Amino acid sequence: MSQAESRQTAQSARAGWLLSTPALILLAVGAIGPLMIVVVYSFLLPGKYGNVEWGFSFDAWRGILYTRDIFDDTLVLADAHLTIFWRSVKLSLLTTLFTFAVGFPTAWFIATRPQRQRAFWLFLITIPFWTNLLIRTFAINEIIRSEGLLNSLLLKLGAIERPLQIIYTDTAVFIGMTYVYLPLMVLPLFAAIDRFDMRLLEAGYDLYASRLQVLRRIILPIVKPGIIAGSILVFVPALGAYVTPRLLGGGKQMMIGNFIELQFGQGRNWPLGAALSVTLLIIVTAALLVYVRFANRDNQVNHG
C-alpha cells in the first residue's frame, strides 16, 4: 500500500470516528453512565430513609447470599434470597422450554403455508405486541382467577367440584410469562424455518429415516440459530420480569425483578438493590455470551 493510500485510509478512519462521536456520547450518557452509578451504589452503605451513605462497603454484595442474624449478628445463609433466585431461574427456563415446545410447531405451520397466507398468520402472532403488557397480564388474570373463565367453564362441564387455585402461584406466573413471551420464540424460529430447504426432508425420507430421525438429525441442527436466538429473547426478559410476577404472583411468588424493586422501595436498601441489579446483568451477559459462542461455532461449521 502506497503512502497516499495509507493517508487516505487513516483520514477515512478518523472521519468514521468523528461521525460516530454523537452516538458514542449518547451511549455513554444514556447507558454506561447510569450503569456505573448502579455499580458505585452497590459498594456504598444504605441510608436510613433510602438513598445511600458515602462509605465503602461490601455489605450489599455479601447480602445477596448472606444475612445477619437478628440475635447474635452472625452471618447466616439468606434462604429467602436463594429461593427467589432459584424461582426466577426455574420459571425462566420452564418458560423458555415451553415456548419452544409450542412455538416450534407454530412456526413450522406458518412457514409451510402458501406465501400469501403467511402474512396473515404472522399478523395473528404479532397482535399481542400491539397491546400493553399490563393489559395482557390482566387478561390472563381474568382467565385463571378463581371466578375466571377457565374455572367457570370447568365447573359448568362438571370436570371439577371447586375452583382451581391457580392465581398467586408459580403456575400462574409461568402461564402468564409463557403467553407474554411466546411471540419472541415464534418469530426467530419462523425466520430460520423459512430458509429451510424442504428438499432435505425428501432426501432424508428417501434414505429411510424415520420422522424422529429427520427432526433430530436434519431439521433441528439447521434451524439451531433460530432456536438459540428465540431462547435468548425469551429467557433474558423472563429472568428480569416484574409486571407479570407482580400481578399473577400477588407479591407472594417474588422474582428477581420484584426483589430489586422491593429494595429500592419498601426495603430502603439501595446498595443491595444495586448489587442485585448488577448480578442480574451478569447473568444476562453470561447467557448472551453463550449465545454468541454457539452462533460463532455454527458459522465456523457452516463455512468450514
Tell me the pLDDT tens digit for each residue of 152-169: 999 999 888 899 999 999
Instruction: Say if 33 falls within a structural domain.
Output: yes
Instruction: Say if 72 falls within a structural domain.
Output: no
Looking at the structure, tell me whether residues 98 and 145 fall in a common domain. Answer: yes
Q: Cell for 206?
A: 428417501
The number of distinct structural domains making up the chain is: 2
Looking at the structure, tell me whether residues 34 and 156 fall in a common domain. Answer: no
Phi/psi-derived region of residue 167, left when phi > 0, alpha when psi is between -120 and 50, beta in every other case? beta
Looking at the structure, tell me whether residues 247 and 102 fall in a common domain. Answer: yes
Burial (Cβ within 10 Å: 0-12, 13-18, ≥19) of residue 60: buried
Looking at the structure, tell me whether residues 172 and 264 fall in a common domain. Answer: yes
Looking at the structure, tell me whether residues 24 and 172 fall in a common domain. Answer: no
Closest to 185 measured CA to CA, from 126, 135, 248 = 126
What is the reported pLDDT for 208? 86
CA distance linking residue 294 with residue 283, whole number of Å: 17
Tell me the pLDDT tens digit for each residue of 228-280: 889 989 999 999 899 999 999 887 778 999 999 999 988 889 999 999 999 99
Instruction: Say if 138 falls within a structural domain.
Output: yes
Looking at the structure, tell me whether residues 99 and 184 fall in a common domain. Answer: yes
Tell me the pLDDT tens digit for each residue of 282-300: 988 887 887 777 766 666 6
What is the reported pLDDT for 272? 93
Per the document, the length of the chain is 304
What is the reported pLDDT for 116? 87
* pLDDT higher than threshold 70 for residue 301: no
Give mean pLDDT, residues 133-154: 91
Looking at the structure, tell me whether residues 122 and 197 fall in a common domain. Answer: yes
Confidence of residue 2 (pLDDT cuts 50, 70, 90): low
What is the reported pLDDT for 3? 67
Instruction: Say if 297 falls within a structural domain.
Output: yes
Looking at the structure, tell me whether residues 124 and 9 fall in a common domain. Answer: no
Confidence of residue 111 (pLDDT cuts 50, 70, 90): very high
Determine contact, residues 196/223, Cβ cutoff 8 Å.
yes
127: DSSP letter: G
Looking at the structure, tell me whether residues 29 and 132 fall in a common domain. Answer: no
Looking at the structure, tell me whether residues 206 and 289 fall in a common domain. Answer: yes
Query: pLDDT exceeding 70 applies to what percent of the chain?
Result: 95
Rounded to the nearest 5°, which phi and psi values hold at 56?
Answer: -70, 135
Pairing of strands 52-53, 45-46: antiparallel
CB atoms under 10 Å from CB of 157, counted, come to: 8
Instruction: Say if 260 falls within a structural domain.
Output: yes
- CATH number of the domain within which 126 lies: 1.10.3720.10
Instruction: Say if 23 falls within a structural domain.
Output: yes
Average confidence score pLDDT of the chain: 87
Instruction: Say if 193 falls within a structural domain.
Output: yes
Determine contact, residues 168/220, Cβ cutoff 8 Å.
no
Looking at the structure, tell me whether residues 165 and 243 fall in a common domain. Answer: yes
Paired with 76 in beta bridges are 67
Looking at the structure, tell me whether residues 111 and 35 fall in a common domain. Answer: no
- Residue 34: give the domain boundaries: 1-41
Instruction: Say if 270 falls within a structural domain.
Output: yes
